[in-house]
Structure 1
Amino acid sequence: MKSAVETLSPTRARLTVEVPFEELKPSLDAAYKKVAQQINVPGFRRGKVPPAVIDRQVGRGAVLDQAINEVIPQKYVEALQANDLQPLAQPEIEVTKFEDNETLEFTAEVDVKPEITLPSYDGLEASVDDIELSDADVEEQVEALRERFATLIDVERPAADGDFVVMDLKATKDGEVVEGAEVSGMSYRVGRGGMLDGLDEALVGMTAGEEKVFSSELVGGDLVGESVDVAVSVSQVQEQELPELDDEFAQMASEFDTVAELTDDVRERLGRGRRLEQAAAARDAVLEALLEKVEIPLPETMVTDELNARRSSFEQQLAYAGMTMEKYLEDEKQTQEEFEADLERRVRDAVAAQFLLDEIAKAEEFGIDQQELTEHMVRRAQQSGQDPQEFANHMFEHNHIPELVQEILRGKALAKVVETAVVKDASGNVVELKNLRPDGTIGEPEAEEAPAAAEETEQTGETGESEEEKAEA
């Protein structure tokens, strides 16, 4: 076999492969055997039909086609290896020349990894914002903890913002009840939002036993975006009674004896969370600084596929959250064009970072062991809320282990870059990156038995993620 490579662009190549007819003979023999098993010819046992008879009965051309279909993938892989090409997608293959007993010639166009000249990645400098933690932040968390232990008391007055109501909802379209858009006996906090546009406005001022109809748009289901009539009836109006913020509450809600101890613990845990956010921001800032030092050509097909996948995932997560794209953009004060531009920038940076970290991992000759792979799979399973064993089984069954290995290697490459970087906050203080794991990800604050206060802190979104990142997670 002979092969030659033509560079069409920094990220696309065309292989031209010539295969002598002699190298097709094993595949041709296998094709004859396969056809012999599939046909019945009088005077011959199944599987024992001679090639000459098959040529008369079926035609040699059909057998040759079968042999070519088997040999081309093999020779394509051999040509990739011979020319040291790393494909990024399935190739576009075209048979350009073939005659019986003559050389087979085919071409294969494919996206390939770009060649990268690694810049120096020692001693990079980056900056991040200062950690901000105010008394108001702490008070908000303590207040949220009080709300977890609050009681609801029925009141005989119109519902106000912040009250709870027990309600029935039913959406209709042209007089017909919309499937999946009917609930009963649901407890809902007025003003919480996130269900239907117009619901909170309708509930304010309603009393127990009252019913009201308003117009809204569905945010999920087959009729998403359609205007519907929504009937809401209230059976109870309840106000929230918070427990007194005293030592007795601290003992009930946590492991601490006094409110002062509880408050100090909330402040400490919030501080750890903010430091964790800052460490993640520092890691990202270092990677951004590295990307600015090198130009990396990107395969547009790969960028487009990733862009479509992220957009679809984000829209799906919005639907699960009961929010339309229009509402999200309104809340973020962003136009559709600005959202698309920001998403494309993120995708291009992510693809470029993959290529760059792959090269660093290769240059550093990083490897992984079984324990690292196991720990990575457990962490991935936990992040997606899956059973670790089921997650591992799925990864093995669908041949995703190479992808996980590459994730770990990229993480190690990023850790290598970050460990020599100098990152300072806006006040000029050096940022400690002690929560950076060996695989390049940011770890959780040191594990401790979490009292109720800590659980509440975790539930109130102290993750430092943007809305888009939460939706993509």
Structure 2
Amino acid sequence: MKSAVETLNPTRVRLTVEVPFEELKDSLDAAYKKINQQVTVKGFRKGKVPARVIDQRFGRGVVLEEAVNDALPKFYTEAVNEAELSPLGQPEVDITELKDGETLNFTAEVDVRPTIEIPDYSGIEVEVDPVEVTDEDVDKAVQQLRERFASTTPVERAAEDGDVVTIDLEAKVDGKVLEDGIAKDVSYTIGSGELLDGIDDAVKGLSAGEEATFTSELKGGSAAGRQAEVTVKVTQVAKRELPELDDEFAQLASEFDTLEELRADSRKRLENMKKYDQATQAQERVLEKLLELVEVPVPEKLLEDEINTRKHNLEHHQLAQMGLTLDKYLELQGKTAEEFENETREAAIKGIKTQFVLDELVSKEKLNVNQEELTEHLMRRAASSGMSPDQFAQAVVQNNQVPLLVGEVARGKALALVVEAATVKDTNGNVIDLDEDEEDEETESAQATEEAQGEAAESAQPAEATESAEATESAEEKTEG
């Protein structure tokens, strides 16, 4: 077999492959054997029909088609490996010449990883928000804890702001009560904004046993996004009473004996949260600077697939779970369809560039992923997906996504190297040391790369040359025609 590579552009090549006919012998034998098991010819036992009879009765072309379909993936893979290519997705195969007994010639066009040069990134500088916790921040945190320990006492009066009311709801659309539009004994805190728009004004001033009707847009259910006439009936009004802010409250709400100790712990927790946010911000901004330094051609077909996958996941998974259409989502976001298209395209380009650049760094720095790192990453992904670690791990194995997770961890480690080499300062001019906890740094780096790659990262995951069996499926489809 002979093969040659023609570079069409920085991300696409054309393979020209010439196969001597004798190299098709095994595939021809397999084709005759397969056809033998499928046909019946009078005078011959099943599976014992001679090749010349099959040629006469069914045509040599049928045999050649079956043999070529069987052989093309193998020859394509050999050509890819010989040229040391890294294909992205499936090739477009065209059989240019097939002479019985002489030769098989075909071409295969396929997207490939672009060649990327990683420049010196040690000079990257980024600015992040400072870690500052004010007394007001602590007051707010303690107040939120206080709210959690509030008690309620039923009262014989009209409902007011901050009261907890028990209500029954009934929603009608076009004058008909919805099947899922009735709710009983719902507990609602007036002013919380947790239910329907307009409900606060409707229930304020009502006493137990009284009701009111208002119009509101439904946020979920069978009529999500539609205007409904909602009747709300108050069955109980209760006053919320907050505990006193003293040492007794500290003992009730925490493991501390005094309010002062509780406030000190709240301040420490807030500082840790802000440090985490600061580190995450640093990861994201360093990544942006890194991408600015590198020229990364993006394969158009891969980009189209990534954009379509992002749109599909948003419309059919995320929005569907919220009972929203894409048009309604755009309306709520205040975006036009054109703005949405542009944003999706920009995010897809950033995701693909992030993978290419960090994968190149992984290769350049010879970074490996051990079992412990993979397990920790799997646990985080399981938590964010709402699945148990065992369920998530099983799904990953069944869908052959272990290499995908390994890639995510490796890219996180690559970004951590860049962050370590960068200069990070807060807006006050203080240099930030992000090496205090290397484990957290790699965790945040992995999360930063996942966010950049987006939820559809799997569709943009480049296929390696060793995984070309999947890529050659289209070669079989081409010969069937």
- Structures share fold, TM-score greater than 0.5: yes
> 1:267, CA displacement in angstroms?
0.7
Structure 2 residue 365 is the aligned partner of structure 1 residue 360:
no
> 1:86, CA displacement in angstroms?
1.5
- Note if contact 1:5-1:16 (Cα within 8 Å) is conserved in structure 2: yes
* Corresponding position of 2:398: 397
- Note if contact 1:167-1:234 (Cα within 8 Å) is conserved in structure 2: yes
Counterparts of 1:349 and 1:157, CA distance in 2: 58
Moved more, 128-137 or 407-416: 128-137
> 1:410, CA displacement in angstroms?
0.9
Which one has the bigger helix percentage?
A: 2
Q: Return closer, same or farther for 1:64/1:144 CA change in 2, 3 Å cut-off.
A: same
- Note if contact 1:11-1:111 (Cα within 8 Å) is conserved in structure 2: yes
Counterparts of 2:228 and 2:97, CA distance in 1: 62
> Structure 1, residues 57-86: CA drift from partner, whole Å, max 9, x if none?
433322222222222222222222222221
> Structure 1, residues 380-421: CA drift from partner, whole Å, max 9, x if none?
223323222222222122111111121122112111111121
- Note if contact 2:354-2:452 (Cα within 8 Å) is conserved in structure 1: no
SS at match of 2:392: helix
Moved more, 215-224 or 26-35: 215-224
SS at match of 2:264: helix
Q: Return closer, same or farther for 1:45/1:205 CA change in 2, 3 Å cut-off.
A: farther
Counterparts of 1:469 and 1:188, CA distance in 2: 39
Larger relative contact order (C-alpha < 8 A, sep ≥ 6)? 2
> 1:207, CA displacement in angstroms?
3.0
Q: Return closer, same or farther for 1:310/1:262 CA change in 2, 3 Å cut-off.
A: farther
Letter in 2 for 1:81: N
Structure 2 residue 250 is the aligned partner of structure 1 residue 250:
yes
* Corresponding position of 1:18: 18
Moved more, 35-44 or 278-287: 35-44
Counterparts of 1:429 and 1:90, CA distance in 2: 50
Counterparts of 2:170 and 2:12, CA distance in 1: 55
> 1:145, CA displacement in angstroms?
0.9
> 1:263, CA displacement in angstroms?
0.8
Q: Return closer, same or farther for 1:295/1:204 CA change in 2, 3 Å cut-off.
A: farther
Moved more, 254-263 or 23-32: 23-32
Counterparts of 1:296 and 1:121, CA distance in 2: 15
SS at match of 1:88: strand
Counterparts of 1:119 and 1:93, CA distance in 2: 36
* Corresponding position of 1:164: 164
> Structure 1, residues 245-278: CA drift from partner, whole Å, max 9, x if none?
1111111111000111001101101100100110
Task: Map residues 36-75 of structure 1 onto 2, 5 A cutoff.
Answer: 36-75=36-75
Letter in 2 for 1:25: K
* Corresponding position of 1:459: none
Counterparts of 2:359 and 2:445, CA distance in 1: 22
Counterparts of 1:62 and 1:270, CA distance in 2: 73
Letter in 2 for 1:89: G
Letter in 2 for 1:437: E
Overall identity of the aligned pairs, in % = 52
Letter in 1 for 2:66: Q
- Note if contact 1:214-1:231 (Cα within 8 Å) is conserved in structure 2: yes
> 1:307, CA displacement in angstroms?
3.3
Letter in 2 for 1:265: D
- Note if contact 1:409-1:439 (Cα within 8 Å) is conserved in structure 2: no
Q: Return closer, same or farther for 1:261/1:341 CA change in 2, 3 Å cut-off.
A: farther
SS at match of 1:98: strand
SS at match of 1:185: strand
> Structure 1, residues 18-73: CA drift from partner, whole Å, max 9, x if none?
22222222112112212222223344333332222323343332222222222222
Letter in 2 for 1:117: E
Q: Return closer, same or farther for 1:59/1:175 CA change in 2, 3 Å cut-off.
A: farther
Moved more, 109-118 or 175-184: 175-184
SS at match of 2:89: coil
Counterparts of 1:208 and 1:468, CA distance in 2: 52
* Corresponding position of 1:107: 107
Letter in 2 for 1:45: R
Q: Return closer, same or farther for 1:244/1:74 CA change in 2, 3 Å cut-off.
A: same
- Note if contact 1:435-1:443 (Cα within 8 Å) is conserved in structure 2: no
SS at match of 2:212: strand
Q: Return closer, same or farther for 1:234/1:72 CA change in 2, 3 Å cut-off.
A: farther
Letter in 1 for 2:193: G
* Corresponding position of 2:80: 80
Q: Return closer, same or farther for 1:295/1:438 CA change in 2, 3 Å cut-off.
A: same
> Structure 1, residues 366-387: CA drift from partner, whole Å, max 9, x if none?
2223333223222322332322
Q: Return closer, same or farther for 1:42/1:417 CA change in 2, 3 Å cut-off.
A: same
Structure 2 residue 407 is the aligned partner of structure 1 residue 406:
yes
- Note if contact 1:218-1:225 (Cα within 8 Å) is conserved in structure 2: yes
Q: Return closer, same or farther for 1:239/1:105 CA change in 2, 3 Å cut-off.
A: farther
Structure 2 residue 425 is the aligned partner of structure 1 residue 424:
yes
- Note if contact 1:123-1:422 (Cα within 8 Å) is conserved in structure 2: yes
- Note if contact 2:350-2:453 (Cα within 8 Å) is conserved in structure 1: no
Counterparts of 2:113 and 2:452, CA distance in 1: 28
Counterparts of 2:161 and 2:110, CA distance in 1: 59
- Note if contact 2:351-2:454 (Cα within 8 Å) is conserved in structure 1: no
- Note if contact 1:16-1:106 (Cα within 8 Å) is conserved in structure 2: yes
> 1:323, CA displacement in angstroms?
7.4
Counterparts of 1:416 and 1:468, CA distance in 2: 17
SS at match of 1:90: strand
* Corresponding position of 1:377: 378
Counterparts of 2:192 and 2:320, CA distance in 1: 17
Moved more, 350-359 or 385-394: 385-394
Counterparts of 1:94 and 1:292, CA distance in 2: 38
- Note if contact 1:11-1:299 (Cα within 8 Å) is conserved in structure 2: yes
> 1:240, CA displacement in angstroms?
1.6
Letter in 2 for 1:378: M
List alignment gaps of at least 5 residues for structure 1: 445-462
> 1:322, CA displacement in angstroms?
7.0
> 1:292, CA displacement in angstroms?
1.4
Moved more, 235-244 or 54-63: 54-63
> Structure 1, residues 217-242: CA drift from partner, whole Å, max 9, x if none?
33345544333333322222223211
* Corresponding position of 1:260: 260
SS at match of 2:255: coil
Counterparts of 1:122 and 1:257, CA distance in 2: 49
* Corresponding position of 2:271: 271
SS at match of 2:443: coil
Q: Return closer, same or farther for 1:160/1:405 CA change in 2, 3 Å cut-off.
A: same
**For the aligned residues, what is the CA RMSD?**
3.2
SS at match of 1:158: coil
Q: Return closer, same or farther for 1:212/1:469 CA change in 2, 3 Å cut-off.
A: farther
* Corresponding position of 2:293: 293
* Corresponding position of 1:32: 32
Task: Map residues 145-294 of structure 1 onto 2, 5 A cutoff.
Answer: 145-221=145-221, 223-294=223-294
Q: Return closer, same or farther for 1:214/1:9 CA change in 2, 3 Å cut-off.
A: farther
Moved more, 260-269 or 173-182: 173-182
Structure 2 residue 325 is the aligned partner of structure 1 residue 345:
no
- Note if contact 1:410-1:440 (Cα within 8 Å) is conserved in structure 2: no
